[in-house]
Amino acid sequence: MYRTHNCGALRIEDVGKEVTLSGWLQASRDFGGMTFIDLRDRYGITQLVFNAEDNNELAERAQKLGREFVLKVEGRVRERSNKNPNRPTGDIEIEVHTLSILNESKVPPFTIEDDTDGGDDLRMKYRYLDIRRAPVKESLIFRSKLAIETRKYLSEQNFVEVETPVLIKSTPEGARDFVVPSRMNPGQFYALPQSPQTFKQILMVAGMDRYFQIVKCFRDEDLRADRQPEFTQIDCEMAFVTQEEILNTFEGLTKHLFKSMKGIELPDFPRMDYDEAIRLYGSDKPDLRFGMQFVELNDVAKGKDFSVFNNAELIVGICAEGQAETYSNKDIKKLTEWMQRPQIGAKGLVYVKVNADGTFKSSVGKFYDDADLKIWADKFGAKAGDMLLILSGEAEKTRKQLNELRLEMGRRMDLIQEGDFKPLWVIDFPLLEWDEESERFHAMHHPFTSPKKEDVPRMLTGDHETMKSLRADAYDLVINGAEIGGGSIRIHDRALQSRNFDLLGFSKEEALAQFGFLLGAFEYGAPPHGGIAFGFDRLCAVMNGQSSIRDYIAFPKNNQGRDMMIDAPASIDQTQLDELRIDLQKEMSS
Amino acid sequence: MYRTHNCGALRIEDVGKEVTLSGWLQASRDFGGMTFIDLRDRYGITQLVFNAEDNNELAERAQKLGREFVLKVEGRVRERSNKNPNRPTGDIEIEVHTLSILNESKVPPFTIEDDTDGGDDLRMKYRYLDIRRAPVKESLIFRSKLAIETRKYLSEQNFVEVETPVLIKSTPEGARDFVVPSRMNPGQFYALPQSPQTFKQILMVAGMDRYFQIVKCFRDEDLRADRQPEFTQIDCEMAFVTQEEILNTFEGLTKHLFKSMKGIELPDFPRMDYDEAIRLYGSDKPDLRFGMQFVELNDVAKGKDFSVFNNAELIVGICAEGQAETYSNKDIKKLTEWMQRPQIGAKGLVYVKVNADGTFKSSVGKFYDDADLKIWADKFGAKAGDMLLILSGEAEKTRKQLNELRLEMGRRMDLIQEGDFKPLWVIDFPLLEWDEESERFHAMHHPFTSPKKEDVPRMLTGDHETMKSLRADAYDLVINGAEIGGGSIRIHDRALQSRNFDLLGFSKEEALAQFGFLLGAFEYGAPPHGGIAFGFDRLCAVMNGQSSIRDYIAFPKNNQGRDMMIDAPASIDQTQLDELRIDLQKEMSS
C-alpha cells in the first residue's frame, strides 16, 4: 500500500497517528540537523520532518532528494510548533521514520509553482509537469465538475445523453472538415463532425424528445489565437418546443452552473434583439459589464461644412466619462493611431471634450460651435469632464470599429469589475446574410435554422431584397462579451428546408447528396424542434474570468495544430498509405 | 406551446383537466362513430377519442390520419370505461376538441412495434424510425443512465474526468489506426486514438491521481460480427495504487452499476488466475453461469491401444449431465460434425455414456473396458445418465475447441438462467506471448503493462524461454463469458519500459519516435500507477442479457464500416484532396 492518507488530508485531530503518504517533493529546506520537505499530491501539501539527531542516516538521505522526486514515507503525525495558517494541513507535520524513493526526477525545465518561469512552448512540451501546477490542475478539475453539474441538471430535466458518431460524412459547406480515409471503402472518406447538428435533429425525428451530449467537435480552420481544431460542446436539442421554452431551459442550466460552481445567483437574463445589439454596441455579443452605449448623431451632425460627416452613412460615438482631463492631445493622437491600425481600420477619430465651464473642445470645433456640440453632448447625457469619441463612415464598418473602441476604453478606464457576470440573450438574428464576394446568401446560424413563423410566407415567395430582411428563431447566449452558446428553432418541414437550401445556393443534387437522409427523415413525421450548443471550453474560461481556453484543455494544440508533447501530426508509413490507397501529392513525397 | 403534459403523464387523478398533448400516431381504430387514436411520445402512449356525435368534422379529420403523423391535440381528460391495466395511462383517455397536424408521414417502411417486421438493413437505413421502437429507445436511455451512474460513482471516489485529445499520433503497433491528413502540416497525419492509454499514463505523471473518461476509441479492423470501428470505453487510471486496490475499486463500480440499474446485489467477485481459467475452461473469459469444468485424462487414458490418445499432448473432456439418453448416435455424429467445421477444427469427438446399470457405452469402447471408463467417469464425478465428451490433441488448440463445445452444450442443455450474472476477475496473465508466425513476442495486454514485481529480475536478465513464463499484474473483468474490462499495473520506470520495448522488437529509434514523450515523462517523477478500461457498449448489452451491442449504439456502422443512414464514408472533392495534398492511388482515381 502506498498511502493511508493523501497529502491534503491530515489535521490537528490526527496527531499521534502512524501514517503512510506518497507524493512529489515540492520543496526541501535544511536547517542544521533538521530537514523539512513539502510533499505534494493532487490533494495538498504536507510537511515532512527528518531529524538528524533521531536518525542521521535517514536525514542524510532526505537531504539528497531532488525536486519532483516521488517519495513514499511512513511516520507519525505531530503538531507543528510553527503553524502555517495558509495551508489546510498547516497545523501538523510528519515525523518520518521510513523513506522510500519510488522514482527519481531530473531537474524540471521550469518551476512547478503557481507562477512558473516556463514559457508557453516549454509548458506545452512538458504538459505533464505543467499540469502539476495548481492553476492548471484546478482548471481541469473545474472542467470535470462543470461537466458533472451540466449532466446533473440536464438529466433532471429529462434530457438523455446520446453518443453520436465521430466518423461521419463530409459536408463541404461551412467550415472545413477533417477527413479520414476509409480502408474498407477505398477512395472514400469519413469526416469528423463539426457538430452533431444533423444527428441531433435526427434524434428528434426519432422521438428522443430531449437530447444532450458533451461532445468533441472538429474544425480544420486556420487557427486564430485561442481556437482549437478539436473543441467540446454541450450540445442539446428538444422536440415540441418553442424558442421561449428553450431560452428558459438553458437560462436555468446557466444559473444552475453559476450557483453550483461559483455560488453566484444570476438574476434573470435580459434579452436584446440582434438589431438593437448592433445599434447600441456594434456587436452581436455586447459586453454589458459597462455602459458606453452607442449614440447616433446623423440627425444633428450633418448639414454643416464638415464633409466627412456629411458624406457618412453613419455618425456614431460613445461617451467616455471623466476622460476629458485624462486624455492630452498626444494621448488622443495615439488613440487615433490605434484605431487606424489595419486590424481596425478607422479613417479617423473625432473627439469632443466637455469643459468644466460648459464650453467644448473638439477636433471638429471649426465646423461646429458650442451650441451644436451642446446638442451632441445632451444626446450622450455627457457632463463636464466627459469626452465624446465619434466615428463616421459606412454603417456596418463604423459600428464594428466603434465596438473595438468601446471595449478598449472599457479596459483603459478599468470599468470591468472582477467577478462580475453579465449574461444576455441576443435574439431575432437575420436568417440569411448576403456575401458580396461570393454573391450568395450564407446562413447566419446554419442551414437548418427556421425563419420566424410570420416570415415564412415572405421566405417562400419573396424577392432577393426580402430575403435580407427575414428574421430567424435564432438566439445566442452572451456572457461578458463572449458568445457562450447559440441555437435556433429548426425547420422541420421538407419543403421549407428545400427552399432554404435553394436560397443558400445548393443545387437539388447537392442538397440530396449531403442532407438527403435529413430531408428523407422529414417525410416520416418530424416534430417541431430546436436546440442550442454551448462552447464548453469557453464557458469554463469565462466562468473563471479567463480570456484563454488553453488551461481548461488538458492537451491543447498550438496555432499550427500541433501537439507539442507527443509531436503530432507526424508522417506515416508507406504501408499505411498503401492500405488506405492514397499517395502524398508529388511536391510532398519528393 | 405544444403540450401541457407528455404522453405518459396523465392518471386517473387528472380527470377533468384541460390538456394539450403532442406526439406520433401509433395506432388508430374506428368503431362506428368513435375514433380512437393512440398518441405516442418517448414517455408513453395516451388514448385519444373523437366522437362523431360531438363533432363530426373533427372525427372525420381524425379518421384520415395516418401512422406516424405528428399531432397536437387539446382536450379534456376523462375516465375510460374500458381500462387498460397494461398501460400507465390506461385509466384515462382524452376527449379531443382541437386537432392540429404538426407534420405528416409517409407510410413507414416497417412497423414501429416492439417486434418489428423490418430487417437489419432497413432498420439501419431508417434508424430514426427504428429508434422510435421501445426496445431501441429504452436501450439508448439505459446507456445514458449507465453513464450517469458510472460518473456518479467514480466522482464520489475522487476520480476526475479529463478529456484526452482525439487527434493524436499514429502508432503502427497493435491494431490499425484511422488517420487524418493534416492540412496545416502537409504530408503529416494525425491518428484517432485506439484508447487514451498513453495520455492517461501521462495524467498520472502529471499528478491527476485518479482519472476517468467515458470516451470514444477507434480501430480500423476488419469488422467481425458485433465489432464497431468506433466504440466507447470507461477508461480509468489511478496513481499510488496496487492491483488489489484497483480490483476493489472497480468491483465496487460494477456492483454499484448492477445495484442502481438492475436492483441486483452482486456478491464479491471470485478471482481465478489465467492458467486456471485456461485449464478449467479453455478460455480467459469463462462463462461461470454453468459448470462443466474441463477434466484432464492424460494420466488415465494413455497407454492403451488407442494411438490418438497416446499421441495427444492433452486429453480433456466435459461431462454433460443427463445427456446420455438425449443424444442418439445420430445426434452425436451431428455434434461431431459441428465440432469439425473449420471455425472450430476438431479432428474428432469421443463420447462415453454412463448407463443406468453402471456399464458404459463409448466410441472408444474397444480400447477401454468398463473398469477403465469407470476411472474416467469418477474423475468427472459422472453418474448414471451422464455423457462425457472428450477431445484430444495439441493442448492449446484442444482447450479452445472444448471451450466451444462447453458453451454449445450449455446453450443446448439450457443451463443459462435468464437474469443470472456471474462476474469473475481473471488475473496473473502472462506478460508476453510468443507469436510463431512473426517470430516475436507480443504484449499480452499492451506494451506498458508491468511484470509482477517478483518477475522483474528474470525479465531484466532472463533468456528467451524465461520470457514466456513471466507473469504480469494484468487482470480482466469477465461477466457471463464476456470480457467487460481489462487493465494492468503499468511500468513507471524508464529502464524497465525500454527493456519491454526491446523484448517486443522495437528498435530504440522506433520506441523513441512513438513513445518518446512517455519515456521522457518517466524521467520526471512518474508515480506507480495502473488502471482499467471497460467496454461500455458491451457492458450495456451484457447487463441486459443481450449478445449484440448494436441497439446500445444510436447510429452503428455495418460490417463494411458504413453508416447506412447517412451513407458514409463517401467520396470527397478534388479541392479537398488538393488542400490536404493527397491523391487517390491510381487504380482508385481512374
Exposed e or buried b per residue across B176-209, where buried means at least 16 C-beta atoms within 10 angstroms of its C-beta: bbbbbbbbbbbbbbbbbbbbbbbbbbbbbbbbbb
Q: Say if the Cβ atoms of B187 and A129 lie within 8 Å.
A: no
pLDDT digit string, tens, across residues A516-571: 999 999 999 999 999 999 999 999 999 999 989 999 999 999 999 999 999 999 99
> Distance between CA atoms of A228 and B167, rounded to whole angstroms?
11
Kindly state the average pLDDT of the residues B88-98: 97
User: Is B328 among the domain residues?
Assistant: yes
pLDDT digit string, tens, across residues B275-328: 999 999 999 999 999 999 999 999 999 999 999 999 999 999 999 999 999 999
Could you tell me if A189 and A245 lie in one domain? yes
Burial (Cβ within 10 Å: 0-12, 13-18, ≥19) of residue B13: exposed
Among B131, B182, B202, beta carbon nearest to A569: B182
- Measured between CA atoms, the residue of chain B closest to residue A69 is B525
Interface test with A, best of B180, B222, B244 (most A CBs within 10 A): B180
Q: What is the pLDDT of residue B358?
A: 87
Exposed e or buried b per residue across A315-347, where buried means at least 16 C-beta atoms within 10 angstroms of its C-beta: bbbbbbbebbeebeeeebeebbeebeeeebebe
- Measured between CA atoms, the residue of chain A closest to residue B582 is A584
- The set of cell numbers assigned to A198 is 444533423
Which pLDDT band holds residue B173 (cuts at 50, 70, 90)?
low
Pairing between strand B271-273 and B423-427? parallel
User: Is A572 among the domain residues?
Assistant: no
How far is the alpha carbon of A57 from chain B, nearest alpha carbon, in Å? 23
Q: What is the DSSP string of A340-397?
A: HSTTT--S--EEEEE-TTS-EEETTTTTS-HHHHHHHHHHHT--TT-EEEEEEESHHH
Kindly state the average pLDDT of the residues A202-208: 98
| Coil vs helix vs strand at A548 | coil
Which residue, A588, A174, A26, is CA-closest to B525?
A26
CATH number at residue B302: 3.30.1360.30
Dmax over CA atoms of chain B, in Å, equals 94
User: Which ipTM value was assigned to this complex?
Assistant: 0.95
Handedness of CA B244, B250, B254, B256 (dihedral sign): positive
Kindly state the average pLDDT of the residues B486-498: 94
User: Is A222 among the domain residues?
Assistant: yes
CA distances from B406 to A82, B317, B335, B396 (A): 69, 9, 12, 15
> Distance between CA atoms of B451 and B431, rounded to whole angstroms?
6
Angle subtended by helix axes A134-156 and B134-156, to nearest 10: 140
User: Are A53 and A33 in contact, with CB atoms under 8 Å apart?
Assistant: yes
CATH number at residue B84: 2.40.50.140
Q: Which residues in chain B have Cβ-Cβ distances shorter than 8 Å to A179?
A: 180-181, 572, 576, 580
Among B183, B189, B202, beta carbon nearest to A128: B202
User: Is B486 among the domain residues?
Assistant: no
Half-sphere exposure of A437 (CA within 13 A, CB side): 1
Interface test with A, best of B45, B189, B221 (most A CBs within 10 A): B189
User: Is B506 among the domain residues?
Assistant: yes
pLDDT digit string, tens, across residues B325-366: 999 999 999 999 999 999 999 999 999 999 999 899 999 999
Q: Say if the Cβ atoms of A568 and B70 lie within 8 Å.
A: no
Which pLDDT band holds residue B190 (cuts at 50, 70, 90)?
very high
User: What's the length of chain A?
Assistant: 590
B438 contacts chain A (CB < 8 A): no
Could you tell me if A315 and A387 lie in one domain? yes
> Distance between CA atoms of B52 and B35, rounded to whole angstroms?
8
| Beta-carbon count within 10 A of A111 CB | 13
Q: Cα dihedral angle (A254, A258, A259, A265), rounded to 10 degrees?
A: -90
Q: Say if the Cβ atoms of B162 and A140 lie within 8 Å.
A: yes
Q: What is the pLDDT of residue A171?
A: 79
Which pLDDT band holds residue A590 (cuts at 50, 70, 90)?
very low
A293 contacts chain B (CB < 8 A): no
pLDDT digit string, tens, across residues A324-379: 999 999 999 999 999 999 999 999 999 999 999 989 999 999 999 999 999 999 99
Q: Which residues in chain A have Cβ-Cβ distances shorter than 8 Å to B555?
A: 164-165, 199
Q: Say if the Cβ atoms of B105 and A523 lie within 8 Å.
A: yes
User: Is B417 among the domain residues?
Assistant: no
Interface test with B, best of A143, A245, A582 (most B CBs within 10 A): A582
Domain of residue A377: give its range: 290-412
Kindly state the average pLDDT of the residues A488-513: 91
Percent residues over pLDDT 70 in chain A: 99
A246 contacts chain B (CB < 8 A): no
Q: Say if the Cβ atoms of A523 and B106 lie within 8 Å.
A: yes
Burial (Cβ within 10 Å: 0-12, 13-18, ≥19) of residue B270: exposed
- Measured between CA atoms, the residue of chain A closest to residue B495 is A103
pLDDT digit string, tens, across residues B564-574: 999 999 999 89
- Give backbone dihedrals phi and psi of A81, rounded to 5 degrees, phi first: -80, -35
> Distance between CA atoms of A323 and A407, rounded to whole angstroms?
15
Please tell me what DSSP assigns to residue B426.
E
| Coil vs helix vs strand at B489 | strand
B571 contacts chain A (CB < 8 A): yes
A126 contacts chain B (CB < 8 A): yes
Could you tell me if A142 and A54 lie in one domain? no
User: Is B583 among the domain residues?
Assistant: no
| Beta-carbon count within 10 A of A575 CB | 9
Q: Say if the Cβ atoms of A517 and B565 lie within 8 Å.
A: yes
Q: Which residues in chain B have Cβ-Cβ distances shorter than 8 Å to A124?
A: none
Could you tell me if B463 and B373 lie in one domain? no
How far is the alpha carbon of B255 from chain A, nearest alpha carbon, in Å? 21
A124 contacts chain B (CB < 8 A): no
**Boundary-marking domain end, from B55, B84, B103:** B103
Kindly state the average pLDDT of the residues B105-109: 96
Which residue, A144, A111, A401, A101, is CA-closest to B208?
A144
How far is the alpha carbon of B405 from chain A, nearest alpha carbon, in Å? 33
pTM tops 0.90, yes or no: yes
Kindly state the average pLDDT of the residues B14-36: 96
Place of cell 487524418: B180
> Distance between CA atoms of A304 and A302, rounded to whole angstroms?
6
Q: What is the pLDDT of residue B330?
A: 96
A199 contacts chain B (CB < 8 A): yes
Q: Say if the Cβ atoms of B240 and A3 lie within 8 Å.
A: yes
User: Is B567 among the domain residues?
Assistant: no
> Distance between CA atoms of B257 and B147, rounded to whole angstroms?
9
Among A184, A553, A584, beta carbon nearest to B581: A584
Residue type, A297: L
- The set of cell numbers assigned to B532 is 482499467
pLDDT digit string, tens, across residues A115-135: 999 899 999 999 999 999 999
How far is the alpha carbon of B460 from chain A, nearest alpha carbon, in Å? 18
User: Are B390 and B315 in contact, with CB atoms under 8 Å apart?
Assistant: yes
B509 contacts chain A (CB < 8 A): no
Which pLDDT band holds residue A588 (cuts at 50, 70, 90)?
low
Q: What is the pLDDT of residue B590?
A: 46
A41 contacts chain B (CB < 8 A): yes
> Distance between CA atoms of A138 and A368, rounded to whole angstroms?
57
| Coil vs helix vs strand at B114 | coil
Place of cell 491494431: B175
Could you tell me if A259 and A366 lie in one domain? no
- The set of cell numbers assigned to A307 is 464633409
B211 contacts chain A (CB < 8 A): no
> Distance between CA atoms of B165 and B417, rounded to whole angstroms?
42
User: Are A165 and B230 in contact, with CB atoms under 8 Å apart?
Assistant: yes
Residue type, B179: V
Could you tell me if B219 and B162 lie in one domain? yes
Q: Say if the Cβ atoms of B205 and A181 lie within 8 Å.
A: no
Q: What is the DSSP string of A283-307?
A: SSS--TTS----EE-HHHHSSSS-H
Among A102, A168, A188, beta carbon nearest to B571: A188
> Taking a contact as any Cβ pair under 8 Å apart, which residues of chain B between 4 and 33 contact chain A?
6, 22, 24
Kindly state the average pLDDT of the residues A456-466: 90
Among A132, A163, A190, beta carbon nearest to B568: A190
Q: What is the pLDDT of residue B32?
A: 82
Which pLDDT band holds residue B589 (cuts at 50, 70, 90)?
low
Number of domains in chain A: 4
CA distances from B411 to B280, B326, B407, B417, B543 (A): 18, 15, 6, 10, 18
Could you tell me if B334 and B436 lie in one domain? no
Place of cell 523513506: A99
> Taking a contact as any Cβ pair under 8 Å apart, which residues of chain A between 461 and 490 contact chain B?
none
Bigger pLDDT: B128 vs A118: B128
Could you tell me if A514 and A538 lie in one domain? no
Q: What is the pLDDT of residue A589?
A: 52
Beta bridge partners of B79: B92
CATH number at residue A163: 3.30.930.10
> Distance between CA atoms of A366 and A353, rounded to whole angstroms?
14
Place of cell 457632463: A383
Could you tell me if A167 and A94 lie in one domain? no
pLDDT digit string, tens, across residues A87-110: 999 999 999 999 999 999 999 999
Could you tell me if A213 and A243 lie in one domain? yes
Among A160, A161, A525, beta carbon nearest to B70: A525
- Measured between CA atoms, the residue of chain B closest to residue A208 is B42
Among B108, B199, B526, beta carbon nearest to A103: B526
Could you tell me if A522 and A541 lie in one domain? no
Q: What is the pLDDT of residue B379?
A: 97
Could you tell me if A85 and A148 lie in one domain? no
Among B202, B528, B570, beta carbon nearest to A169: B570
pLDDT of B588 higher than 70: no
- Measured between CA atoms, the residue of chain A closest to residue B108 is A524
User: Are B546 and B553 in contact, with CB atoms under 8 Å apart?
Assistant: no
What radius of gyration, in Å, describes the C-alpha atoms of chain B?
30
| Beta-carbon count within 10 A of B559 CB | 13
Average pLDDT, rounded, for chain B: 95
Q: Which residues in chain A have Cβ-Cβ distances shorter than 8 Å to B557?
A: 165, 167
Among A232, A242, A585, beta carbon nearest to B582: A585
Q: Say if the Cβ atoms of A578 and B585 lie within 8 Å.
A: yes
How far is the alpha carbon of B522 from chain A, nearest alpha carbon, in Å? 8
Interface test with A, best of B167, B518, B577 (most A CBs within 10 A): B167
Q: Phi/psi zone of residue A93: left (φ > 0), alpha (ψ -120 to 50 degrees), beta?
A: beta
> Distance between CA atoms of B24 and B41, rounded to whole angstroms?
6
Q: Say if the Cβ atoms of B582 and A587 lie within 8 Å.
A: no
